[in-house]
Chains A and B, each alone.
Chain A
Amino acid sequence: MHISNGIIDGPVAAVFAALALAALTVCVLRGRRDLDDRLAPMAGLVAAFIFAVQMLNFPIFTAGVSGHLLGGALAAMLVGPWVGALCVAVVLVVQALIFGDGGVAMLGLNITNMALLGTAAAYALIALLLRVLPRTRAGLAVTAFVAAMLSVVVASQGFVLQYWLGGTTDLGGNLAGLAGTMAGVHLLIGIGEGLITATTVLTVAKVRPDLVYALRSLRTPAVPAVPVAGGVR
């Protein structure tokens, strides 16, 4: 869902860049508290995983963005919303800087959609569903699947909002069509993303439940985590 340079106009991109910067600052401040010895390597691996998974992308012909898995739900599940958003943001920054995937001037828009909207929607759903659903493997699987699927659709609608505010070409009455295309394609992507997220989270939860951030609040802390070296500057 990377937006390339020139698809959204400058002022809107600047507004979203400011918004993304402010939100990321909050994530950095909250994320530092979360980042301990267990979470630091996990955050790196989640980012690497998302990076690898986002390499597989295909064009969405009528929208000017690429379609691919986002990884926001996996990040929120395994490393929490704050560090999770940072992981996705880091992936996007590196992709924009050296792979030319998503314009550098559009970074604020891309971070808002994929890192902030996607992860926030996923975490809200995870927090809700984990309370409502039974605490079984099936409950966890459904939570991961639904959160991943819906977060992708929510993130895709972020692009529609941005195009409505500052698309460089007036599509006339086609905006509803754009919203429909984006939602439809991303619902399909969301199913794939949901399956991958659910299998990954289930395996991790089975073997190393201590690594799943979303399950932390549900159990009593066994060993207090050691703060990571250099986690606080």
Chain B
Amino acid sequence: MGAGHGHVLYRESDSPVHRLPPEVKIVAMVVFTIAVVATPREAFWAFGAYAVLVAVVAALARVGPRWLLSRALIELPFVLFAVALPFLGSGDRIEVLGLRLSEDGLHGAWNILAKGTLGVLASLLLAATTTTRDLIVGLDRLHCPQVLTQIATFMLRYLDVLVGEARRMRVARISRGDDPRFLWQLRGFAAGIGALFLRAFERGERVYLAMLSRGYTGRMPAVWQGEGAASAGQWLVAATVPVVAASIAATAVVLS
């Protein structure tokens, strides 16, 4: 549990993107995604341009295409929906490879595939270059209400507590002669879930009281806040990505 504050998707590196303050990256990522979603789906060239933009940022962040694409598989459920749409959609039918497909459905499938993939890639880039600690600091600097950052801080902290307790309980069960395998594990798992919750809570409560007694006031120490808040220059540098994306979107809207 004393490990670093990274998460599974964080890639340790010292690239220009890693060095940007988190609040700047969060805003850039959100604006980029909104620009992508606002683009009319018939503007195929615009999505190509967005993909180039993502590739440039990935190269700057030293994130390889293989890592990025394999992590993007989380999107799979939506891709399956996209595959189904040409068969489910209504309206004009066109002939593709001997199949009668809905034209609207084909457009819809493309729409989901392109916008979904670009959104997932953008968030993966944010995840690869930002630790969870920095993410919270960024949200705090963006004036996210303190109740929310507080819940988020505890959530990320307690995830490790929860996983650690689950592992300890599993070891305890095995060492008492239980033989957890796939389906047979379910009964023990169901019976243990309430106990897991309580154990994790009591451990978490101790962590919380220890934090309080060391001067925790609901916000992370001021050192984190002051150090490395974004300068005007950094805002300008990071603004290039959303500004380019917004101009692409605006052009696509005007042209369509």
Contacts and interface: CB of A to CB of B under 8 A. Distances in A.
State yes or no: do A and B come from one complex.
yes
* B127, B145, B147, B217 — most chain A CB neighbours (10 Å): B147
Given A32-B147, A98-B9, A99-B127, A5 B89 contact: no
A28 B126 CA distance: 26
B152 interface: yes
A169 B85 contact: yes
A99 B120 CA distance: 8
Contacts of A101: 74
A230 B219 CA distance: 7
B113 to A, nearest CB: 8
B51 interface: no
B84 interface: yes
B26 A97 contact: yes
B151 A87 contact: yes
A191 interface: no
A40 B159 contact: no
Interface stretch (A44-52, A121-129, A213-221): A44-52
A184 interface: no
Contacts of B207: 41
A208 B195 CA distance: 12
B146 interface: yes
* A40, A44, A47, A94 — most chain B CB neighbours (10 Å): A44
A6 B115 contact: yes
User: On chain A, which size bracket covers the interface?
Assistant: 35 or more
Interface residues of B, number: 85
A7 B78 contact: yes
Nearest to A198: B194
Nearest to A91: B155
A104 B123 contact: yes
A28 B162 contact: no
B130 A98 contact: yes
A150 to B, nearest CB: 21
27 contacts: A4-B75, A6-B41, A6-B112, A10-B37, A10-B38, A13-B37, A35-B147, A41-B158, A41-B205, A44-B151, A49-B162, A51-B155, A93-B148, A94-B135, A97-B123, A97-B126, A100-B71, A100-B120, A104-B33, A105-B34, A105-B119, A168-B41, A169-B108, A171-B88, A204-B201, A228-B218, A229-B218
Interface of A: 4-7, 10, 13, 28, 31-32, 35, 37, 40-45, 47-49, 51-52, 57-66, 83, 86-87, 89-91, 93-94, 96-101, 103-106, 168-174, 195-196, 199-200, 202-204, 207-208, 211, 228-231, 233
Interface of B: 7, 9, 26, 29-30, 33-34, 36-38, 41, 71-72, 74-78, 80-82, 84-85, 88-91, 104-105, 107-109, 111-116, 118-124, 126-127, 130, 132, 135, 145-148, 150-159, 161-163, 190-191, 193-195, 197-198, 200-201, 204-205, 207-208, 212, 216-219
